[in-house]
Amino acid sequence: MRECGPREGTCARHWHLALLGNVGRRGVGHRPAQRRLFLLALSACTLGGSAAAAEHGTRIGGVYSLTGTSDIDAQIGPVPYRRTVPSTVEVKVEPAQDARVTLTVSADGRTCTLAALMTGIETLTLTPQQHCPQLAQLEGDAQLELDGALNSGRAVIHEGRMTLTTQWAVTGTLSTGGLRIPVSGTIRASDSGTRKS
């Protein structure tokens, strides 16, 4: 259950009435009528929070075009690979149920769908340990096949602008010239941009 602060209108009023009706000389909720009032207040607060989250989720839905950078810290076989590269991604935000949201992230012709939860008025927290398999064709016959496991992710959407930060643990192989070279490491990405539809 979410917390109800003094600025949250109906929820706060119900909660205040519940406290007034339940705190007495003999403790909290010692009379049936007071217990019913207390339970009604809890219900109003919880349901009101879900409705508010769903309504705001509808307002933040849309397609966002983002640019930024990805910091790569990896090991390709015995060779360390550290580089910061530019990134361009498109993110489709779709409200699901209650405070849940789906993010479809597309980049370089590849797409990954991620689940998130509204943890604030403008904040989405991505569920950890989601996986995004990626396959990239490099120069010549070289091919990079990776699996990314999400360590953490957060999106902030304010007035039609999104900032998305993610951190991934990646493992996979680089195939080239008949060889398969193991790859492992981390990728930290930070992208921001505006809603285009």
Distance CA 180, CA 2 (A): 50
Distance CA 181, CA 173 (A): 5
Per-residue pLDDT in tens (0 to 9) along the chain, 197 residues: 444 443 344 344 433 333 344 444 444 444 555 555 444 444 444 444 444 444 555 578 999 999 999 999 999 999 999 999 899 999 999 998 788 999 999 988 889 999 999 999 899 999 999 999 887 777 788 888 999 999 999 999 999 999 999 999 999 999 998 999 999 999 999 999 999 98
Per-residue buried b or exposed e for 124-149, using 16+ beta carbons within 10 Å of the residue's own CB? bbbeeebebebeeeeeeeeebebebe
> What pTM does this model have?
0.69
Distance CA 174, CA 197 (A): 37
Q: From 67, 62, 131, 135, select the one nearest 103 (Cα to Cα).
A: 62
